[in-house]
Amino acid sequence: MPKKRMLKKVSYAAGIAVLLVCIFAFPSSVATAESKRKEQAQLVSILKKSDLAAGSRYAIVNQIANNMLSANEYQSAVLFLTDWVQKHPDDAYNSYWLLMTGYAYLSMQAEPFAEYYFDRILRHYPDLLVKGRSVHFLCLKNLIRISKTSSTRIAYFNEMINRFPSDVSITELYYRRALEYEKNSEWESALRSFAQFLEQSDAPTIQIAGEPNAYGDARRLVDFNNSSKDWTFETLDALVTAVKSAITRYDWRALDSYCSKINFFYMSWTQDENDPNSQKEFSLRVYMRGQRISFSDTLETGTTANEAYLRTRGWSPYSPVWYLYFRKVDFPIDPDINGNWEWAGIYMGERLL
């Protein structure tokens, strides 16, 4: 049997009788603070018995801790659980007690302490199934959420993917891991993770929170990496000069060669660049034939310093004004290309500000 399947399941049966006695004595619906205190004291007293069966001992420890947590006595729960683990290093349920400790710290908004305990469980304690859920899996879910550094999140993503592939969306994890690699400037690893994301059958349709165009962004990056990139220019001035010269000469072949070969778009100002209907593969030849095309002497700035527009006119009687859109290439993996400029698309009609 695979190692990860050899997980112990928590059983409540052995301690059920003890719990029934305690709960029956002090019904939760009418319990007062005093009755709860007495119940807790009774549970602690029972726990001290040396002949207590393992199942009953688990049930008692669990009830004591849950009583504290339900009363928002998080610090008391932390002290009780960590003291228990320290004094009973051979307790088979120590990973669960420390998981509860981590959750208590989360409830106190003490995420660094919670992270310490979740990570400690992964490194030093065997996995355990609680109500059908893996303790290690729950630790990883929380660590991915609260960890503050990309390097640690990458490690947790990798462990989650390798150990629990059937319990998560591998597609989403590949994408999120790629983003962490980018933040950590591990560009080659980021590209590999994006490529793994694209290989998944549900990649084109998956909805990832906070990433509305995950598939398009990953596809563009991977395709750009695999392309010749020979349409880019070292400077914006060089690109604009080349485009203006080609328009003046009515050299449609040159203009076609200057267009980006990855997701070049041709659309109105109200369309989305990521709309598949806006991404065109076409030649400027048909638009230059028999037309008198002109362009502005100066560029118009974009919303950032990494983009610019050239207003042109005369391409079509139906939409005579085109804005040629130029942007700086953001591709840190290749220093020779990163920071170059490309002609990324065309906006039809007067510019909407």
- Show pLDDT as tens, one digit a residue, over the chain (353 residues): 444 444 544 444 334 344 434 444 444 444 477 777 788 888 887 888 777 788 888 999 999 999 999 999 999 999 999 999 999 999 999 999 999 999 999 999 999 999 999 999 999 999 999 889 999 999 999 999 999 999 999 999 999 999 999 999 999 999 999 999 999 999 999 999 999 999 999 999 999 999 999 999 999 999 999 999 999 999 999 999 999 999 999 999 999 999 999 989 999 898 877 666 555 677 888 888 878 999 999 999 888 899 999 999 999 888 899 999 999 999 999 999 999 999 999 999 998 76
What is the CATH number assigned to the segment(s) 149-226?
A: 1.25.40.10
Q: Which CATH class is domain 1-124?
A: mainly alpha
Half-sphere exposure of 34 (CA within 13 A, CB side): 0
Query: How far is Cα 118 from Cα 109, in angstroms, rounded to an integer?
Result: 15
Classify residue 96 by burial, with Cβ atoms within 10 Å: 0-12, 13-18, 19+: buried
Local structure of 129: helix, strand or coil: strand
Contact 98, 117 (CB under 8 A): yes
Hey, CA dihedral for 62, 67, 71, 77, is it positive or negative?
negative
Q: For 86, list phi and psi in degrees, rounded to 5.
A: -65, -40
Tell me the Cα Rg of the chain: 31
Q: Please enumerate in sequence order all residues whose Cβ is within 8 A of that of 344, keeping only pairs 6 or more positions apart, or say none.
A: 260, 263, 264, 265, 325, 326, 327
- CA 307 to chain centroid, in Å, comes to 28
Same CATH fold assignment for domains 149-226 and 236-348: no
Q: Which CATH class is domain 236-348?
A: alpha beta
Q: 83 is written with which tokens?
A: 């003291």
Q: Which sequence spans correspond to the domains of the chain?
A: 1-124, 149-226, 236-348
